[in-house]
């Protein structure tokens, strides 16, 4: 009978996952002294940004300090929970051009690395980011993927047995770097996810004067007097000789991808060629130096490097600098549209990834730099800007839905998911049709052994889909601290298996996973089968002791989840009660105490069949508790079961059949031996007796233990 007193302890243990969401997410805590230890002299740590938790790392160049990198903790920008439910914390140094200067692991709770592979492989993994660019999507490949031909600019080598963890680390690195890039570097800026393009068919023939009058083409002119005023008090007010009204710099600024601007300034042929090279969604800004040929301040003069990001010209929007790079268009003899003044010019490309919205106001800024001092000169800069406002009806805006981070994991693991789906598609019909293969006492044991071998080899070692108490710990940590359960999506095979197991718990109870889909459970059964010729005698555990030992796994479960909820550092140590990480995830490649423990449990299994599963497994305890909601009494029984027949009870190696014939479903591992017996007229004692007396009997339900 299902007594409410039986259910209450189980639900109480499970409710540890659903306690109040009152704990705030953790934040980075590195002090200036900590940052200085990671960036020693000659580098200098600047003042922490008052808007973002970012430290500028400075390097002296020609007597002045320039930004070498921006240092920050991933936890402040992308607290993505790892497989243990706790976000890793990484120290990242991002160069002004978006290149990773350094990436270090500050802290993590990834189970596969804690007392497993060790943290060294993780440290080596993040070192691969140095030199890569946050402007490009970076994916985690297989181990040695780059040596196998994967592009080294966009791929980092994965770590065997740590697929989910490395993908989480990758997303933490990229998401936090892009967050800083939006605030400090200008790419991936405020309008990420919004594609703004000029309407290609909207064109009016306009002269340069008309474009200037409408404000669609802008001029940025700085006179000597204006520059003197800007540099007042610096000691470099004057630079060279000339009248106050002389022009130091005069720039023409225009957004060329708008047909009414670009076609009129460049002409039909050059505009068409530009748009083909530019590509959809990208933008082109022309900057032309219209001042006198001898103007002292010409940012596009002989020193300008084609294809580079200009040193003295920046495009910004909403207070963020937008990445604008010279398109390296051939200038010699190219010629420009009618009416444009002669002079040096460039076309700056702004990629769609920059989040630039040309329908909103944007600014072009020119920096004028002067030097003070003879020996250790000091550079002093002043900026001069012009704003462009274009009508919104020149553009179309399309919201672009970006893919969630975890979708790459699902695409990469589809062969594994297909194999797992095929396994489940084979298993379910076999278990449902009890009078089919299950009833065949000759073929069914061979099928079961073969299936368990596939579970161990494919589910365990190939797919790395050994379910674990660690997932429940992650759920507790996420519920209490991060409130983010997306970490489950980074391990598709395990998530699919969890979904199936939860469904099978409702239908059949604990046994489907523990008896068929647990790789460590399969390892124990296969070891017992291999040792069968040795005829090792099983130890008969006294009934009273057996009942007491079965409660231990619930105490282990409560201790692990309780320590996790209390944020105790002992939680991960308690989780080592499971040997799954040692035997399956790490293939016994651990220090000897862990290996000895796992091997010892396999040896114990030879004397006390699946003793770990029956007495110690915390995951089995959790599944047994949830399995009490089971809706099917799927094991057939006869009135004679238990009284007088005890055959099924004697044959049950798990001790899941009580003396009175009732099934103890929370302890049943769905091996189907009793089902095979009851459908076999040659084994089922009541059927054998009935046959002798020429009677026909039919299995009927019997009261069961829930």
CA nearest neighbour of 452 among 514, 523, 528? 523
- According to DSSP, the residues that pair with 326 across neighbouring strands are 348
pLDDT at 319: 66
Cα gap 603→582, rounded to integer Å: 15
**Percent with pLDDT over 90 in the chain:** 24
Q: Which residues contact 328 (CB under 8 A, 6 or more apart)?
A: 306, 307
pLDDT band at 516; cut points 50, 70, 90:
very high
User: Which residue has better confidence, 300 or 620?
Assistant: 620
| Strand order across the beta sheet in which 44-45 lies | 44-45, 55-61, 64-73, 89-94, 100-107
Is a pLDDT exceeding 50 seen at residue 17?
Answer: no
Cα gap 145→158, rounded to integer Å: 8
How confident is the model over 533-543, as a mean pLDDT? 89
Coarse DSSP helix, strand, coil percentages of the chain, rounded to the nearest 5 percent: 40, 15, 40
Q: How far is CA 609 from the centre of its chain?
A: 39
Positive or negative CA dihedral for 565, 571, 574, 579? positive
Cα gap 280→259, rounded to integer Å: 14
> How would you classify the pairing of strands 139-140 and 155-156?
parallel
User: Mean pLDDT over all residues of the chain?
Assistant: 81
pLDDT at 692: 76
Is a pLDDT exceeding 50 seen at residue 250?
Answer: yes
Most confident of 32-36, 271-275, 523-527: 523-527
Burial environment of residue 414 by CB neighbours within 10 A (0 to 12, 13 to 18, 19 or more): exposed
Q: What is the pLDDT of residues 390-432, one digit of tens each?
A: 998 999 877 655 566 677 778 878 899 999 999 999 999 998 8
Domain boundaries, the chain: 27-78+81-185, 194-399, 407-632, 636-706
pLDDT at 9: 37
pLDDT at 508: 87
- According to DSSP, the residues that pair with 222 across neighbouring strands are 249
CA nearest neighbour of 152 among 136, 168, 167? 136
Is a pLDDT exceeding 90 seen at residue 111?
Answer: no
pLDDT at 188: 52
pLDDT at 331: 55
User: Which residue has better confidence, 353 or 165?
Assistant: 165
Is a pLDDT exceeding 80 seen at residue 556?
Answer: yes
> DSSP letters of 639-701?
TTBTTTB-HHHHH-TT--B-TTS-BBGGG-----HHHHHHT-TTT-HHHHHHHHTT-------
Structure token digits, residue 72: 């920050």
Residue 218 backbone dihedrals phi, psi, to 5 degrees: -115, 155
Among 34-38, 339-343, 583-587, the least confident range: 339-343
How much is the pTM? 0.60
**Percent with pLDDT over 70 in the chain:** 85
- According to DSSP, the residues that pair with 223 across neighbouring strands are 247
pLDDT at 193: 53
Residue 658 near residue 642 (C-beta atoms within 8 A): yes
Q: What is the pLDDT of residues 139-166, one digit of tens each?
A: 888 788 777 777 777 788 888 777 778 8
pLDDT at 334: 47
Among 349-358, 432-441, 521-530, 594-603, the least confident range: 349-358
Structure token digits, residue 92: 């990242």
User: Which residue has better confidence, 160 or 493?
Assistant: 493
Among 381-395, 495-509, 622-636, the least confident range: 622-636
User: Which residue has better confidence, 25 or 280?
Assistant: 280
Cα gap 68→70, rounded to integer Å: 7
pLDDT at 672: 87
pLDDT at 11: 40
């Amino acid at each position: 009978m299902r007594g409410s007193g039986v259910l209450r302890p189980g639900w109480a243990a499970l409710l540890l996952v659903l306690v109040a969401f009152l704990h705030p997410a953790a934040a980075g805590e590195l002090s200036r002294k900590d940052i200085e230890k990671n960036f020693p002299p000659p580098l200098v740590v600047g003042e922490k940004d008052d808007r973002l938790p970012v430290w500028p790392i400075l390097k002296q160049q020609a007597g002045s300090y320039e930004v070498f990198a921006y240092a920050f903790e991933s936890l402040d920008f992308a607290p993505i929970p790892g497989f243990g439910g706790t976000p890793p914390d990484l120290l990242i140094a991002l160069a002004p051009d978006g290149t990773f200067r350094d990436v270090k692991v500050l802290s993590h709770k990834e189970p596969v690395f804690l007392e497993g592979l060790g943290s060294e492989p993780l440290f080596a993994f993040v070192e691969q980011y140095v030199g890569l660019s946050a402007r490009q999507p970076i994916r985690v490949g297989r181990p040695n993927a780059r040596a196998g031909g994967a592009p080294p600019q966009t791929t980092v080598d994965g770590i065997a047995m740590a697929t989910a963890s490395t993908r989480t680390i990758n997303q933490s690195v990229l998401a936090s770097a892009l967050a800083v890039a939006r605030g400090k570097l200008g790419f991936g800026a405020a309008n990420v996810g919004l594609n703004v393009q000029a309407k290609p068919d909207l064109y009016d023939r306009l002269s340069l004067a008309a474009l200037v009058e409408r404000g669609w083409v802008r001029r940025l002119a700085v006179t000597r007097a204006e520059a003197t005023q800007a540099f007042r008090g610096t000691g470099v007010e004057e630079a060279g000789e000339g009248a106050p009204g002389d022009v130091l710099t005069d720039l023409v600024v225009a957004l060329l991808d708008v047909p009414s601007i670009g076609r009129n300034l460049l002409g039909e042929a050059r505009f068409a060629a530009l748009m083909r090279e530019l590509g959809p969604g990208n933008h082109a800004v022309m900057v032309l130096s219209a001042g006198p040929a001898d103007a002292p301040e010409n940012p596009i003069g002989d020193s300008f490097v084609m294809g580079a990001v200009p040193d003295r010209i920046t495009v910004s929007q909403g207070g963020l600098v937008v990445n604008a790079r010279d398109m390296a268009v051939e200038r010699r003899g190219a010629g420009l549209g009618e009416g444009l003044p002669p002079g040096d010019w460039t076309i700056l490309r702004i990629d769609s990834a920059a989040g630039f919205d040309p329908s909103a106001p944007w600014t072009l800024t020119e920096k004028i730099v002067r030097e003070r001092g003879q020996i250790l000169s000091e550079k002093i800069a002043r900026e001069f800007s012009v704003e462009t406002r274009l009508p919104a009806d020149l553009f179309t805006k399309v919201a672009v839905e970006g893919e969630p981070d975890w979708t790459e994991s699902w695409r990469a693991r589809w062969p594994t998911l297909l194999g797992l789906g095929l396994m489940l598609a084979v298993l379910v019909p076999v278990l449902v049709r009890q009078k089919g293969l299950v009833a065949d006492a000759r073929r069914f044991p061979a099928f079961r052994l073969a299936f368990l071998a596939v579970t161990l080899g494919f589910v365990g070692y190939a797919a790395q889909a050994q379910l674990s108490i660690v997932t429940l710990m992650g759920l507790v940590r996420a519920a209490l601290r991060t409130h983010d359960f997306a970490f489950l999506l980074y391990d598709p095979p395990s998530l699919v298996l969890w979904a199936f197991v939860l469904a099978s718990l409702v239908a059949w109870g604990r046994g489907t996973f523990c008896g068929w889909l647990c790789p460590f459970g399969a390892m124990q059964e296969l070891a017992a089968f291999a040792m069968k010729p040795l005829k090792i005698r099983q130890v008969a555990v006294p009934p009273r002791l057996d009942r007491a030992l079965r409660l231990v796994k619930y105490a282990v479960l409560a201790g692990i989840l309780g320590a996790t909820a209390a944020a105790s550092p002992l939680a991960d140590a308690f989780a080592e009660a499971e040997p799954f990480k040692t035997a399956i995830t790490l293939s016994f490649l651990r220090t000897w105490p862990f290996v000895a423990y796992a091997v010892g449990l396999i040896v114990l299994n030879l004397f006390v069949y699946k003793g770990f599963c029956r007495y110690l497994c915390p995951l089995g305890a959790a599944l047994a508790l949830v399995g009490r909601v089971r809706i099917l009494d799927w094991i057939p029984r006869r009135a004679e079961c238990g009284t007088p027949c005890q055959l099924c009870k004697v044959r049950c190696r798990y001790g899941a059949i009580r003396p009175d014939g009732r099934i103890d479903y929370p302890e049943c591992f769905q091996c189907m031996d009793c089902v095979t017996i009851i459908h076999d007229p040659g084994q089922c004692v009541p059927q054998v007796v009935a046959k002798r007396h020429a009677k026909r009997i039919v299995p009927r339900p019997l009261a069961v233990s829930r």
